[in-house]
């Protein structure tokens, strides 16, 4: 799939400029409408395409959102939870992971700053020693 910035509203898909032109030339999709631009954020479909029902649950075994009909027909014996509960849990996990990474990186930045300051102090000490040695040699 090509990287695109042209969103076809009917196909729910992104197209590059060349593919958009080809898409509009085909008989079946010649009347499709596109949204374009850098800030395209296609609406996330929140419903089951098979049953045209809103997703209410999240099947933990299949790792997918499901509607009330899918629960009965396909996921009856599976472990599932309400979708809001599941997304809140995932958000909390992601936030915790991000916080830990930020904390780790801040600690590494502090280590680098400390090392940089020590390096600069060592350089200054060597420069002063060289100057002192130069003065000592000039006086002799």
- What's the rounded mean pLDDT across residues 41-69? 80
pLDDT band for 1, please (50, 70, 90 cuts).
very low
User: What pLDDT is attached to residue 40?
Assistant: 65
pLDDT band for 38, please (50, 70, 90 cuts).
low
The total of other beta-carbon atoms located within 10 Å of residue 69's CB is: 14
User: What pLDDT is attached to residue 108?
Assistant: 97
Instruction: Please give the helix or strand (H or E) that residue 117 lies within, else none.
Output: helix 83-139
pLDDT digits (tens, 9 = 90+) for 126-135: 999 999 999 9
User: Is pTM beyond 0.95 here?
Assistant: no
Residues whose CB falls within 8 Å of the CB of residue 40, separated by 6 or more in sequence, listed in order: 5, 7, 14
Give, in words, the CATH class of 44-139: alpha beta
pLDDT of 9 over the 50 cut: yes
SS3 of residue 45 by DSSP: coil
Q: Where are the domains of the chain?
A: 1-43, 44-139
- Give me the chain's average pLDDT, please: 86
pLDDT digits (tens, 9 = 90+) for 85-119: 888 888 899 999 999 999 999 999 999 999 999 99
Task: Extract the tokens encoding 132.
Answer: 């002192």
User: What pLDDT is attached to residue 97?
Assistant: 94
Task: Extract the tokens encoding 98.
Answer: 């991000």
């Amino acid at each position: 799939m090509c990287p695109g910035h042209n969103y076809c509203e009917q196909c729910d898909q992104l197209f590059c400029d060349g593919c958009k032109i080809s898409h509009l030339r085909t008989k079946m999709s010649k009347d499709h409408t596109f949204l374009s631009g850098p800030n395209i954020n296609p609406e996330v479909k929140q419903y089951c395409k098979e049953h045209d029902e809103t997703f209410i649950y999240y099947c933990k075994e299949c790792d997918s959102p499901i509607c009330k009909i899918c629960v009965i027909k396909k996921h009856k014996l599976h472990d599932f939870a309400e979708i809001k509960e599941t997304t809140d849990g995932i958000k909390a996990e992601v936030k915790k992971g991000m916080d830990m990474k930020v904390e780790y990186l801040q600690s590494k930045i502090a280590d680098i700053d400390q090392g940089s300051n020590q390096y600069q102090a060592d350089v200054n000490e060597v420069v002063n020693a060289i100057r002192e040695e130069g003065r000592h040699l000039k006086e002799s």
